[in-house]
Amino acid sequence: MAGVSAHGAQAMPAALRAVPRPTAAAGRMALRALLDGRSLLPVLSALHSELGDAFQLPMPHASPVVLAGPQAARFLLVDARADFRWRIESDPVARLFGHGVLVEDGAEHDRLRALMMPALHRRMLEGQVSAMHAAVDRCCAQWTDGAVQTVLPQMRALALDILARTLFAVDITPQLQHLWHSILRAIKFISPGMWILWPNVPRPGYARALQRLDDYLLQLVGLKRAAGSSGAADVVSLLIEAGLDDRLIRDQLLTLLVAGHDTSTALLTWALYALATQPAVRRRAQAELDAVLGGAPPQAEHLQQLPYLGQVVKETLRLYPPIHVGNRLAACDLEFNGCLIPAGTRVLFSIYLTQRHPAHWPAPEHFDPDRFDAALHPPPQPYTYLPFGGGPRFCVGAAMAQVETKLVLARILQKYDFDLPPQRMRFHMGATLEPARPVRLRMHVRPPAV
Ligand code: HEM
């Protein structure tokens, strides 16, 4: 039987097992990886193969339960979702985002989400395609033939530029230098660290940087209020019109700014890394682009005509999911697969392990965009592919991320060829899953397609 909650329709069976725990040695290995700032993912993969789709991670302060696989996904995201909380008051993410939609539960979450959704609708975003490829062209303006580019910071600047224009209707680029350090501090503030073991660990050195971001966002709200932007469709105007106060608008804007750009930064960087290390995939994507677009910049109507590029994006999201784990608190005693998850347990749902699950993905470690070719394979089984989560808290920015990623990659692949010697990339677990080493690509200008 899959999970039922103590509050659910079925009563909690009397004899439940504890969630399996690894040996003390495995626990020490996990702890060492965390403290050394290394990725926990190899440890989690090893524990998953040994213990299955539910196991505990023994840590000194608390022992979170890790869940993986489609049955766990359905349990957490849909069937028992009302028995989980997103908001964990002591977590840095709640302290940073205040009452942002990402860390609210219940009716207030649903209200905030409904208010911002119109600005994130695919049709709205398709109207921004020209602004997006103009941003890509500005980003690439310095990419001379044969020069080496360090991709991640450039994708970050590009993602911020696109996000501010499309969602906030402002040009953030003049302030970017001033805000850069603050944005990196905000990301570091919510990344895994010592606070997991010691929730009240002092976090000196953040206040000034975070205040600078608040000042920027509150000034933006003030300017929009003064301009009386009634009827405008950007998210700032929508939230002002809905009657939210400045602080609550700041919480939503900071949530969107961080959640909306750090994820796209990671996805674009991983996609360029995958395309650089797999020349056959890159050439096939370029051939598709040349056939559909010639040399012209991609427009909204072209996005559906680039199926292979779409498969590349999907496979990148499978193998390198920017949000690799979902973080919840069990609000009551829960049962999953005959195991008791006591109330108050932190539950981590691993998107990474699910999307590399050997029972559901053949050759799971292999990058193969053809897995998503509908003519060759049936679609993935339900709840085995969840890069944007699932259920009622499915990512609000999924449409934006898909339009943006396809467009940016299309423009870069049209203009450049690039390579990187094959190398095994380690993961860095920041707020998103990033390459641990800088991705440096040598860019070669392509002759214009005819
Ligand atoms: C590659 C890009 C992206 C990926 C992989 C991604 C992934 C996810 C995932 C997995 C969740 C669910 C987390 C959970 O259930 O614990 C989520 C939620 C969310 N995402 Fe994204 N995201 C991306 C882009 C964006 C963008 C562009 C925005 C905003 C512009 C955004 C804003 C949000 C917000 C606000 C939530 C919370 C939704 C809710 O709780 O109702 N994301 N995202």
Q: What integer pLDDT is reported at residue 37 of this predicted model?
A: 61
From CA 111, how far away is CA 114, in angstroms rounded? 5
Report pLDDT digits (tens) over 243-263: 999 999 999 999 999 999 999
The answer to whether residue 338 scores a pLDDT higher than 60 is: yes
Distance between Cα 401 and ligand 1 center (Å): 9
pLDDT at 7 over 60: no
> Residue 58: is its pLDDT beyond 90?
no
- The residue behind tokens 């559901």 is 360
Residue closest via CA to ligand 1's atom 20 equals: 395
CA distances from 186 to 35, 51, 124 (A): 20, 35, 28
Residue 400 in contact with ligand 1 by CB distance below 6 A:
yes
Is residue 124 very low, low, confident or very high in pLDDT (cuts 50, 70, 90)? confident
Residue 13: per-residue pLDDT:
67
Tens-place pLDDT, residues 155-179: 999 999 999 999 999 999 999 999 9
pLDDT of residue 1: 39
Q: In the structure encoding, which two tokens stand for residue 31, read together?
A: 């702890």
- Confidence band (pLDDT; 50, 70, 90) for 35? low
From ligand 1's centre to the CA of 144, what distance in Å? 34
CA 359 – CA 450 distance, rounded (Å) = 45
> Does 322 contact ligand 1 (Cβ within 6 A)?
yes
346 three-class SS: strand
**Quick check: 8 pLDDT over 80?**
no
Task: Please give the number of the atom of ligand 1 that sits closest to the Cα of 77.
Answer: 15
291: pLDDT confidence band, cut at 50, 70 and 90? Answer: very high
| Dihedral pair phi/psi, residue 196, rounded to 5° | -65, -40
Q: What percent of the chain has pLDDT over 70?
A: 95
* More reliable by pLDDT, 196 or 246: 246
| Cβ-based neighbour number of residue 10 at 10 Å | 10
- The answer to whether the CB of 316 is under 6 A from ligand 1 is no
CA-closest residue to ligand 1 atom 7: 388
Domains of the chain: 4-445 (1.10.630.10)
Atom nearest to 266 CA in ligand 1:
1
Q: Is the CB of 390 under 6 A from ligand 1?
A: no
Residue given tokens 């040009």 in the structure block: 171
Distance CA 214, CA 211 (A): 5
Within 8 A by CB and 6+ apart from 284, the residues are 308
